[in-house]
Amino acid sequence: MTNYKIVPISKDCDIGALANAYISVFEGEPWREIWKCKSCGENYCNSCGENDKEKCKSNVPKGQCKKCGNSKFDRFYSNEKVQEKIMNVMKIEGFVGYVALCENTTVAFSWGYLINKNNDNERFIAIDEALANKGYECGYFYSAETGVLPEYQMKGIGTALATAKINDAALLSNVMVFTTINKNMMSIYKKLFAERMGELQVSPGAVTDYQNRKFFSIVLRD
């Protein structure tokens, strides 16, 4: 049995360690966010044909971007940029986040935040319209990021993080929205909220940064 504790994300947390965990998670499956095109930002590793993640990490791509044909690439993430992202997200109204610690090592994370009606991001506008069609017109809680290091998966940590986050989210909003390509995360949400979860009918092409993604809503309270 793995001993761990769930701790709220705050400025007192080791943000550098959280950033390292974030990078390790999203460099892995199913995301493989290791290298990106220097020109258009397209994820190179999802189409490079290399099955060995460690080889992909250690070898600079020599091919061409499938999207724009450019042949220059950068690492998808840097610790500094991820730390900056986390600190900015923490400033958003209604931020809720937790990390899981095992022997004081950050092994997992989960966070989200409130989205108000006046948000001008195209993804959130499209979600807002889909929610309005279901009768929800008062903003919502957006579950933004969740990840568990591979060696700590299937130990209940993801469920514990999701539960902690959602309990707090229910104090802020009636409904939560999420999207994921992680089958384990989807299983957790279905297990916890099977009768309260449904797919949102987001207009095709309305979300250019998350194309071909499905979005789901969970009713947190009646």
For the chain, the average pLDDT equals 90
- Token digits for 19? 């950033």
Q: What is the pLDDT of residue 5?
A: 96
- Token digits for 56? 């992909």
| Of 146-150, 167-171, 177-181, 205-209, the least confident | 205-209
Per the structure, the count of domains in the chain is 1
Q: Say what percent of the chain tops pLDDT 90.
A: 68
Residue 74 and residue 60: Cα distance in Å, rounded?
Answer: 8
Residue 136 and residue 128: Cα distance in Å, rounded?
Answer: 8
| Secondary structure element (H or E) that encloses residue 17, with its range | helix 15-27
Residue 113 and residue 72: Cα distance in Å, rounded?
Answer: 35
Q: What is the pLDDT of residue 50?
A: 58
Question: In 3D, which of 108, 81, 92, 94 has the Cα closest to residue 13?
Answer: 108
Q: What is the pLDDT of residue 13?
A: 95
- Token digits for 72? 């220059």
Does a structural domain hold residue 99?
Answer: yes
Residue 220, SS3?
Answer: coil
Domain span holding position 146: 5-14+87-219
pLDDT by residue (tens digit) across 49-77? Answer: 555 666 677 677 878 888 899 999 999 99
Does a structural domain hold residue 19?
Answer: no
Q: If you average pLDDT over residues 151-178, what whole number do you get?
A: 96
pLDDT by residue (tens digit) across 72-82? Answer: 999 999 999 99
Domain containing 149 — which CATH number?
A: 3.40.630.30
Residue 222 and residue 215: Cα distance in Å, rounded?
Answer: 20
Q: What is the pLDDT of residue 24?
A: 96
Could you tell me the CA-to-CA distances from 67 to 36, 75, 165 in Å, in that order?
A: 11, 17, 36
pLDDT by residue (tens digit) across 173-197? Answer: 999 999 999 999 999 999 999 899 9
pLDDT by residue (tens digit) across 127-145? Answer: 999 999 998 877 899 999 9
Does a structural domain hold residue 128?
Answer: yes
Q: In 73-182, where does DSSP find H-type helix?
A: 79-89, 122-133, 157-169
Other beta carbons within 10 angstroms of residue 57's beta carbon come to 14
Does a structural domain hold residue 25?
Answer: no
Q: If you average pLDDT over residues 145-149, what whole number do you get?
A: 96
Instruction: With beta carbons less than 8 A apart as the criterion, state whether 118 and 194 touch.
Output: no
Q: What is the pLDDT of residue 141?
A: 97
Does a structural domain hold residue 188?
Answer: yes
Does a structural domain hold residue 97?
Answer: yes
- Token digits for 175? 């409904």
Does a structural domain hold residue 203?
Answer: yes
* The CA-based dihedral angle spanning residues 47, 49, 53, 56, taken in that order and rounded to the nearest 10 degrees: -80
With cut-offs at 50, 70 and 90, classify the pLDDT of residue 117.
Answer: confident
Does a structural domain hold residue 162?
Answer: yes
What is the pTM assigned to this prediction?
A: 0.91
With cut-offs at 50, 70 and 90, classify the pLDDT of residue 15.
Answer: very high
pLDDT at residue 16 above 80?
A: yes
Q: What is the pLDDT of residue 213?
A: 87
pLDDT by residue (tens digit) across 27-50? Answer: 998 898 999 999 998 888 866 655
Establish whether the linkage from the previous residue to 30 is cis, with ω within 30° of 0.
yes
pLDDT at residue 211 above 80?
A: no
